[in-house]
Structure 1
C-alpha cells in the first residue's frame, strides 16, 4: 500500500530548447506527481524541473489537470499499442516490461485520477476498458477453455500485477526484476479459476446503527472513497446523514479528524483479523492461507475502506499519516514473514514483490463493482493470491 520509487529526470541546461521538451515535461510531471502527490505540486515546480519558465509550460499544456491527463493517457497509449501487436504467448513479458517502464501509472491512476475533469476521466476510463478487452481477447486465444467472464477477470488481474510495482520502492537488479514480474503475470493468466454462471444477488443494506457518530463515519467513508477527501465538505457529509454541517462538530472537531477515525478503523480491522488468523493457524502455510481468506473477505466487504487506505493517507495530519504508513508497512511485513517461512528460498525483496502483487489483485478487483459483485469472485481471488504466494492445492 505504499508508494514506490520514481524515475529521476534530468533537466536540460536553462536557456536551451531541446527538441523533446514536451516529453521532458511529461517525465518530470510524472515523477513529481508520483512522489509528492498531484495536489502538492505546482506548475512552477514542473517548469523548474526541466529548466524552463512557467509561461513556456503553458505552450504545451493548458494547466496542471491537462498535464496529469497527458501523463496517464500517454502511458495507456503505449500499452494499447503494445497489446495491439501482442501474441497470446508473449503477453506476460510485454506487460512486465511496460509495468516497469511506466512504474508511476498505478499510483497516479489509483490516487490522482479523480482530479481530472469528467470528460478526461471518462476518456481515460474508456481507454482502460479497451486495454482490458484486448487483453481478455488475447487470454481467450491463449486459453480457449475460459468463459468470457473468466478471461475478463484474469485480464484485470494481470493488469493489477503489472501496476503493483507502482506501490513499493524496491528496485531489484535486472534482468531479474523483469523476469520475476513476468513470472507473476504468467502465474496469474494461467490460474485455474472457475466462475459459476449465476450472478450474485444485489446486496441490500437492511439495517443501520442508531448512533449518529457511526452514521457520520459510514457516510464520510463512502463520500471520501467516491470523490476524494478534498472533494467532500462537512456540509456534504452532514447532508448525507441528514443533519446540518455544523452539527457534525458535536462529534468531530474537523474533517481531518473524521478521516483519521476512518483510516484508524480500517488499519485496526486488518490487524484484528490477522491476530485471529495467527491464533487459529496450525503452521506458517496454514496461516498464510487463512490470511489470504481474511484479506479477500475484507476487501470485498469494505471496498470504500480499501480505496481510502490506498489513496487518502496523504490528507491525514502528519502524526496520523506517519502512524498509518508505519502500520501499513508493518502489516505487509507480517505477510512477508509468513511467506518466507513457507518459502525459505525467497529473499525479502522477492517476498515483498509477490505480496504486493497478491494484495493489488484483491484491491483492484474489489474496486471494480462489476467484478466485486460476480458470483464466485471470492474463490477465484483465493486461487490467484495463493498462486502468487507459492501455495498449491
Structure 2
C-alpha cells in the first residue's frame, strides 16, 4: 500500500483511520484509475463497511481531493524549508521524498482531472506553490538567475521528480536516490539562455483541413485532453465542427476510433523520427540529439496528444492498449540504446531512468501553457534534456 500504512484488523477503530483511508485511496487510484475504484473498494482496503467512509468524507470526489493534498503536503512542507539550504542536501531530500511517494506525479497528472472546480483550483494553487518554492531555491543557489530561467528550471525539477511515477524501473535505494538527486542538481546547474520575452500577438484564426474527417479529429483531440475522453460526447465533437452529432458517424465509426487514431499517429510520428535519426546521424550522440530536438518539437506542437498518453490510455481496448504500450517501450529503448552507445559504462536501468527524466521535462513543459507559449523555451528545454542525457554540447 502507498506509504506503507498497515491495514488494521476488522472491528478495530484506529486513531489514524482517515490517514489509512487516504493511503488506500492513493494506492487504488494510481493502480486502477479513479473511475475504476468504488467506495466499497476503499472500505474493503481499510477493513470497514462502506457507510463508515462517509463519517470522514462526503463522497469519492472528496476522497480524491484529500488524497491529492495528502500526497502533496509533504512536498510543500519540504519546499517551504529550502531557503538557504545546502543544494546537495536539498537534492537528496527531494529524491528521497520522490521515491517515498512515487505515485504522486501520476495522481496529480492523471487522476486529479476528475476533481470539481474548487478542488481543482486548490490543486493548481498547490502545484504553483511548489513551482514558486523551487524557483526561489534556484535563485538562492544561483544568484542573478532571472525569473523566467528560474521558473523553467523549477518546473523542470518537478518533471524530473514526477518521472518515476510513470515507470517501474528500480535501483538499490541509495543508488536510486543518488541518481535522482544528480538529475535535480543537473537541472539546477544548467546554463540556459532565453531570448527577451516577446508580447503575444493577436491569435490567428486556425486553418481548417479540407477533409471533414481530419477536421473532426483535430477538434476531438484537444477536447479529450482538456475534459477527458469519457466526458466528451459525439454531440460535443460535432458541434465544434458545426455539424450534428450523428453526422460524425459519416466520417468516424465510433468515438473510440478518434482516440485510437490520435494515439497511433503520435506513435507513428515518433517512430519515423527514430528511423530518420538513425539514417542521417553521424553517430550515436548526434542521433540522440536529433531525437531530443524532434521530441521537443512534437510535444510543443501537439501537447494534447502527449497528454492523452498519460490520461486516456486506459480507455483503449486491450489489443490497442498493448500496441500503444509496446510503442512507448520501444521508443524509450531506442533512446536508451543510443545513450549507452555514447556512455557504454552506464548501467542499463540508470540509463533508462535518465531517458524517462529527459522525456518528462520535454513533454511536461509543453503541457504547461505559460512555458509552451514562451518562444524561447523549446531551445532551452533541448539544452536541459541534453544535460540530463550527459550529451556533449552541440
- TM-score, length-scaled by structure 1: 0.96
Where 2:92 maps in the other structure, the secondary structure is helix
Shift in Å, 1:204 = 3.0
Shift in Å, 1:277 = 1.3
Residue equivalent to 1:194: 193
Q: Which runs of 5+ in 2 are unaligned?
A: none
Residue equivalent to 1:37: 33
**Quick check: 1:84 aligned with 2:83?**
no
Shift in Å, 1:345 = 1.1
Residue equivalent to 2:173: 174
Q: For the Cα contact (< 8 Å) 2:222–2:304, is it kept in 1?
A: yes
Q: For the Cα contact (< 8 Å) 1:79–1:131, is it kept in 2?
A: yes
Residue equivalent to 1:377: 377
Residue equivalent to 2:7: 11
* Structure 2 Cα separation of the partners of residues 144 and 88 of structure 1: 14
**Quick check: 1:55 aligned with 2:75?**
no
* Structure 2 Cα separation of the partners of residues 392 and 199 of structure 1: 30
Shift in Å, 1:276 = 1.2
Q: For the Cα contact (< 8 Å) 1:274–1:294, is it kept in 2?
A: no
- TM-score, length-scaled by structure 2: 0.95
Residue equivalent to 2:275: 275
Counterparts of residues 1-393 of structure 1 (less than 5 Å): 10-86=6-82, 87=85, 89=87, 90-199=89-198, 201-202=200-201, 204=204, 206-393=206-393
Shift in Å, 1:187 = 0.3
Deviation sequence 1:191-225 (CA, Å, 0-9, x none): 11111112374563552211000001000001001
Shift in Å, 1:363 = 1.1
Aligned residues between the structures = 389
* Structure 1 Cα separation of the partners of residues 32 and 227 of structure 2: 20
* Structure 2 Cα separation of the partners of residues 200 and 103 of structure 1: 38
Deviation sequence 1:221-250 (CA, Å, 0-9, x none): 010011010110010000001110001111
Deviation sequence 1:15-62 (CA, Å, 0-9, x none): 112222211111111111111111111111111111111111111111
Shift in Å, 1:154 = 0.3
* Structure 2 Cα separation of the partners of residues 6 and 169 of structure 1: 14
Q: Which runs of 5+ in 1 are unaligned?
A: none
* Structure 2 Cα separation of the partners of residues 367 and 161 of structure 1: 15
* Structure 1 Cα separation of the partners of residues 233 and 292 of structure 2: 36
Say if 1:195 and 1:296 are closer, same or farther in 2 by CA, change over 3 A: same
* Structure 2 Cα separation of the partners of residues 198 and 123 of structure 1: 29
* Structure 1 Cα separation of the partners of residues 206 and 307 of structure 2: 23
Q: For the Cα contact (< 8 Å) 1:34–1:107, is it kept in 2?
A: yes
* Greater CA drift, 89-98 or 255-264: 89-98
Shift in Å, 1:6 = 6.3
* Structure 2 Cα separation of the partners of residues 102 and 386 of structure 1: 27
* Structure 2 Cα separation of the partners of residues 67 and 27 of structure 1: 10
* Structure 1 Cα separation of the partners of residues 78 and 276 of structure 2: 45
* Two-structure CA RMSD over aligned residues (Å): 1.5
* Greater CA drift, 141-150 or 197-206: 197-206
Q: For the Cα contact (< 8 Å) 1:9–1:31, is it kept in 2?
A: no
Q: For the Cα contact (< 8 Å) 2:22–2:70, is it kept in 1?
A: no
Q: For the Cα contact (< 8 Å) 2:135–2:150, is it kept in 1?
A: yes
Shift in Å, 1:8 = 6.1
* Structure 2 Cα separation of the partners of residues 200 and 279 of structure 1: 39
